[in-house]
């Protein structure tokens, strides 16, 4: 599975940075928010990786080449617009303005990855091999790590300063990475052993019970990948077998447990009845608690649309730094905490803070990037380049999972998924550019 002919080459500064960045991504995946708070405020590990990457980016001399695609240009335009809507509020809101802007400004990671791949296309092979190892280890260990994080949360030590648990993994983050690992197997990059499948299903069951966003973020990309590969029959067999096992568990569960609906989303029990409740709430109407969390989201989104699309913030939005929950007169009524800064929907966040122009740039960027990945997949498939086609589909589905999760949760506004997303975006653009170059002039 070599996309570029293998040759021995010396290790460069770019290779060392790539290894460093992979370490950061692993920390986000296995430790979560506890890892994100490592560093010296306001420079945490993500910001330090971004600043270091900017220096590496300048050393590659690939600045102009990194802007040679439509998605790159649209992303650069979106970053400029967000910067214009951030700088005027730094004096008023301080670090909060910069923190809120990372929803788009973390896009700098995409340009860093593009430059690294253009500088040395062999890194595509390296990244795919590394991810193969990650997907195997992640699925084999995350059920135990996540169960420990969920059931032993009160016994996990906290970091000094920010008072954040050393291990704090959101269930939706686990759902996204399980989706990526499953698609990696579906496209043919690895064989799924029985043990691997069992542990993936165990982790997925916990995710589906605790979050609707993570559940959808897993289901949609897997279904999309199976349809693109013509594996509808295999998908149907797995679905029927899974439903049969789930039905048996649903019938037997009352014998061993007593299901009671909780008042808070963070206290949802792990069980088949909670999964059914989450599915019902996603496609229709669920029980009181799940419907309550859905209602406050929809109410908040309506306020944002009325204030921007039909209101005074059409062109500019409210800017970055302002607490949107307080500004819109809403409180987070499903947790006993302070009002959230984000409306649990990245598209609404961008609309509220950057106005309709910001949302238009964001939507155009997503559409152009996904279109580019799908076009490359079809071209590679037509030429018989199955590995290239599988790579494009895998990257597209992985990024799709994060966007779906970001539609229901605070995802791109935080580094745990935000850095992963923008690295995937850059890896997609860079690999497409390498694929095009190889067609015209073999490397």
pLDDT value for 84: 96
Q: How far apart are CA 21 and CA 33, in angstroms?
A: 16
Give the 3-state DSSP-derived string for 95-161, with helices as H, strands as E and coil as C.
HHHHHHHHHHHCCHHHHHHHHHHHHCCHHHHHHHHHHHHHHHHHHHHHHHHHHHHHHCHHHCCECCC
Please state whether 120 falls in left (phi above 0), alpha (psi between -120 and 50) or beta: beta
Backbone angles phi, psi at 121, to 5 degrees: -70, -20
The set of residues, in sequence order, having a beta carbon less than 8 Å from that of 191 and lying 6+ positions away, is 185
Cα 416–Cα 419–Cα 425 angle in degrees, nearest 5: 135
Going by pLDDT thresholds of 50, 70 and 90, the confidence category of residue 232 is confident
Q: How far apart are CA 265 and CA 282, in angstroms?
A: 14
42: tokens are: 């306001």
Q: Which pLDDT score, from 0 to 100, does residue 279 have?
A: 66
Least confident of 15-24, 31-40, 81-90, 122-131: 31-40
Query: In which band, very low, low, confident or very high, does the pLDDT at 270 lie, cut at 50, 70 and 90?
Result: low
Under the banding of pLDDT at 50, 70 and 90, the label for residue 261 is: low
CB-based contact 111:426 (threshold 8 Å): yes
Distance (Å, whole) CA 75 – CA 62? 16
Across the chain, mean pLDDT equals 86
């Amino acid at each position: 599975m070599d996309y570029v002919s293998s040759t021995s080459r010396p290790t460069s500064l770019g290779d060392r940075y790539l290894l460093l960045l992979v370490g950061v991504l692993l920390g986000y995946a296995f430790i979560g928010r506890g890892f994100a708070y490592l560093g010296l405020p306001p420079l945490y590990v993500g910001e330090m990786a971004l600043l270091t990457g900017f220096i590496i980016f300048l050393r590659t001399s690939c600045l102009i080449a990194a802007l040679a695609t439509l998605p790159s240009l649209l992303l650069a335009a979106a970053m400029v617009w967000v910067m214009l809507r951030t700088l005027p509020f730094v004096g008023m809101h301080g670090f909060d303005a910069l923190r809120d802007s990372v929803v788009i400004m973390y896009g700098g990671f995409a340009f860093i990855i593009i430059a690294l791949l253009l500088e040395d296309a062999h890194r595509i092979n390296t990244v795919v091999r590394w991810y193969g190892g990650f997907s195997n280890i992640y699925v084999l260990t995350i059920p135990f790590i996540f169960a420990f994080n969920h059931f032993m949360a009160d016994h996990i030590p906290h970091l000094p300063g920010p008072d954040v648990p050393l291990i704090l993994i959101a269930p939706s983050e686990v759902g996204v990475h399980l989706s990526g690992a499953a698609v990696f197997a579906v496209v043919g990059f690895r064989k799924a052993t029985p043990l691997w499948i069992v542990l993936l299903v165990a982790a997925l069951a916990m995710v589906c019970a605790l979050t609707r966003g993570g559940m959808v973020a897993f289901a949609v990309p897997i279904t999309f990948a199976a349809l693109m590969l013509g594996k509808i029959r295999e998908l149907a067999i797995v679905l029927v077998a899974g439903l049969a096992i789930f039905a048996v568990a649903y019938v037997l569960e009352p014998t061993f447990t007593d299901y009671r609906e909780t008042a808070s989303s963070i206290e949802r029990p792990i069980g088949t009845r909670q999964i059914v409740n989450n599915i019902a709430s996603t496609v229709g109407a669920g029980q009181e608690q799940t419907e309550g969390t859905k209602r406050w989201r929809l109410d908040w989104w309506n306020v944002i649309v009325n204030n921007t699309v039909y209101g005074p913030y059409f062109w500019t939005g409210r800017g970055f730094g302002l607490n949107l929950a307080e500004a819109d007169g809403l409180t987070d009524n499903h947790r006993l905490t302070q009002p959230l800064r984000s409306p649990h929907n990245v598209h609404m966040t961008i609309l509220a803070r950057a106005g309709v122009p910001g949302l238009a740039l964001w939507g155009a960027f997503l559409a152009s990037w996904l279109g580019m990945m799908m076009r490359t997949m079809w071209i590679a498939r037509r030429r018989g380049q199955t590995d290239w086609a599988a790579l494009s589909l895998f990257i597209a589905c992985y990024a799709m999972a994060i966007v779906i999760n970001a539609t229901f949760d605070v995802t791109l506004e935080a580094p745990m998924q935000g850095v992963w997303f923008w690295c995937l975006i850059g890896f997609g653009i860079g690999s497409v550019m390498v694929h095009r170059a190889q067609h015209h002039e073999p490397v």
